[in-house]
């Protein structure tokens, strides 16, 4: 355990360094500050409405306090061996509290019930606030739900019975793995948390990802245009142009042979062209939507006409 705690401290320091490095170099984005400012403004508007009605605010505060006191009293009675009727059954769809200890252990049961009670109270404060436009109320409810989810006791090692058992069983090795993954995600995000969706090391373009043969027939400042030739003797006259979203890679429709729309299309005799968008940087700061149309889609259509002689295309 002592060795793992030392490694945990090392990985935590690594994550901290990855977070601070771009800030010290002045390379951080202001987007996070903008988002935090919007959250503060939105929730501040809700708080302002309640401050204008002190009597209702006191009544709402009393509901929160009385509920927590009642839950604490129930927990004390359970600790003394008394039977206490269940006040709140866990939501069966909430996977955070599926472990039996969340209801069988008085300590964790109290944490769960207190959290659910407080989270519902916070959302009710948004719903019951007066003189707030629907858009602001909708944003405020969203922010409150996200904050409540982040503060769930299931997210903290000392408050989660499953994590406590896992930490004891593995002598803290699970915490080391988590801290290492956190450090890697912060490093990958350039100082911001970039949550991995999968292990990218298991995928390599051209090996087990984007395996349909193709060639680049156009390259400019914004795109590469990739052509995939039909794999049949008979070829359909009209080619197909695929324009993926800017946020997706060109192989979104060619993940693997079993899940490849592009491979299926060429097997049906279709000549397929796919735009691969550049990852923009400072060189593209002056590019507007018109540039993406002219140098992207329009340029691709011109290249397709030169390659196939066809002016009309099918498009996705």
Query: What's residue 58's pLDDT?
Result: 96
pLDDT digits (tens, 9 = 90+) for 21-80: 887 777 666 556 668 888 999 999 999 999 999 999 999 999 999 999 999 999 999 888
Q: What percent of the chain has pLDDT over 70?
A: 92
pLDDT digits (tens, 9 = 90+) for 287-313: 888 999 999 999 999 999 999 999 999
Q: What percent of the chain has pLDDT over 90?
A: 57
Q: Please, what is the angle between helix 54-79 and helix 106-128, to 10°? A: 170
Query: What's residue 134's pLDDT?
Result: 94
* 151 φ/ψ angles, rounded to the nearest 5 degrees: -90, 10
DSSP letter assigned to residue 179: H
The alpha carbon dihedral of 158, 163, 169, 170 has a sign of negative
| Model confidence at 271: pLDDT above 90 | yes
Calculate the average pLDDT of the chain: 87
Q: DSSP letters along 234-275, please?
A: S--SS-EEE---TTS-GGGGBSSGGGBHHHHHHHTT--EEEE
| Model confidence at 88: pLDDT above 70 | no
First-last CA distance in the chain: 55
Rounded average pLDDT over 224-239: 91
Residue 90 is encoded by which pair of tokens?
């866990």
Task: For the sheet with 215-219, list strands across it.
Answer: 215-219, 223-228, 272-277, 240-242, 314-315
Query: What's residue 53's pLDDT?
Result: 93
pLDDT band at 252, cuts 50/70/90? confident
Answer with the residue of higher pLDDT: 268 or 255.
Answer: 268
pLDDT digits (tens, 9 = 90+) for 174-215: 999 999 988 888 888 777 777 776 665 655 555 556 678 889
């Amino acid at each position: 355990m002592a060795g793992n705690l030392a490694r945990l401290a090392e990985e935590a320091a690594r994550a901290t360094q990855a977070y601070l490095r771009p800030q010290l170099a002045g390379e951080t984005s202001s987007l996070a500050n903008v988002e935090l400012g919007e959250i503060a403004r939105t929730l501040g508007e809700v708080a302002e409405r309640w401050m204008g009605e002190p009597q209702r605010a006191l009544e709402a505060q009393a509901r929160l306090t009385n509920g927590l006191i009642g839950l604490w009293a129930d927990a004390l009675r359970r600790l003394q061996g008394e039977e206490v009727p269940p006040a709140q059954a866990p939501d069966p769809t909430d996977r955070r509290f599926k472990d039996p200890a969340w209801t069988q252990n008085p300590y964790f049961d109290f944490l769960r019930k207190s959290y659910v009670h407080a989270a519902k109270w916070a959302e009710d404060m948004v719903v019951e606030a007066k003189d707030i436009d629907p858009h602001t109320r909708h944003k405020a409810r969203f922010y409150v739900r996200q904050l409540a989810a982040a503060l769930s006791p299931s997210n903290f090692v000392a408050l989660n019975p499953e994590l406590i058992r896992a930490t004891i069983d593995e002598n803290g090795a699970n915490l080391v793995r988590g801290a290492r993954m956190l450090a890697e995600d912060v490093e990958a995000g350039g100082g911001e948390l970039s949550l991995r969706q999968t292990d990218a090391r298991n995928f390599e373009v051209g090996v087990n990802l984007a395996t349909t043969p193709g060639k680049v027939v156009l390259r400019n400042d914004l795109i590469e245009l990739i052509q995939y030739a039909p794999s049949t003797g008979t070829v359909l006259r009209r080619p197909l142009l695929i324009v993926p979203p800017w946020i997706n890679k060109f192989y979104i429709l060619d993940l693997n042979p079993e899940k490849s729309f592009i491979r299926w299309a060429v097997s049906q005799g279709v000549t397929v062209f796919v735009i691969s968008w550049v990852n923009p940087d400072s060189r593209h700061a002056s590019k507007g939507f018109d540039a993406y149309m002219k140098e992207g889609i329009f340029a691709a259509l011109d290249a397709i006409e030169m390659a196939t002689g066809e002016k009309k295309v099918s498009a996705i």
